[in-house]
Amino acid sequence: MRKIQKRTRARRAQIRNLTMISTTPKTGFRVPYEVRSSTIAGRGVFATEPVKRGTLVWAYVVNESVIEHHTEAELRKHLAPLSNDEARDKLEHIYVWGDAGVEIIDDAKIWNHSPNPNTGNHPDTGESLGSYALRDIAAGEEFTDDYGNHHELPWFEALCKEYQCTSCTDLGKRIR
């Protein structure tokens, strides 16, 4: 009987630990936000409180908010087990920065494009490892970014064409 009680207590502790881990998602967001329907496209990310100009809205943290894919082979390995629809969805939410395809792994992946964005590189210092408020952002306002500012990587653009989807960079250049 004691062995069963001991195992039961140990199992409950494991379940509690798993619950704590699974209910604490990793995220790059540094301000309160919510995901809801967007008039721009599908769903979007919205401020739930006012955000002052220059505030870090979302941080670029490798393996916390993003995964970097530095080669075509590396990205193809991630796409291989996916259906075509899943692969297209993933590719359409990856942007290029420098020599890497950057897969956003938190809710920022549905951050929508605007040619007149309210977030981007820091408005005073130019810091680019995250998205900063370019101006004051009101509670309830959707966070937007200019995809046309993202870099272009030939192998990534070719991969998007292969899967018949539009890259963020291509979308940003077409919607100005």
Longest dimension (CA), the chain: 71
pTM here? 0.76
- Mean pLDDT for 153-163 is 89
Higher local confidence (pLDDT), 99 or 174: 99
- For 75-143, strand residue ranges (E) read 94-97, 100-104, 112-113, 119-120, 130-133
Residue 131: what pLDDT?
A: 92
Residue 148: what pLDDT?
A: 77
- Spans of all domains in the chain: 26-174
Strands 144-145 and 112-113: parallel
Residue 165: what pLDDT?
A: 81
Residue 153: what pLDDT?
A: 83
Residue 82: what pLDDT?
A: 93
State the architecture of 26-174 in CATH terms.
Beta Complex (2.170)
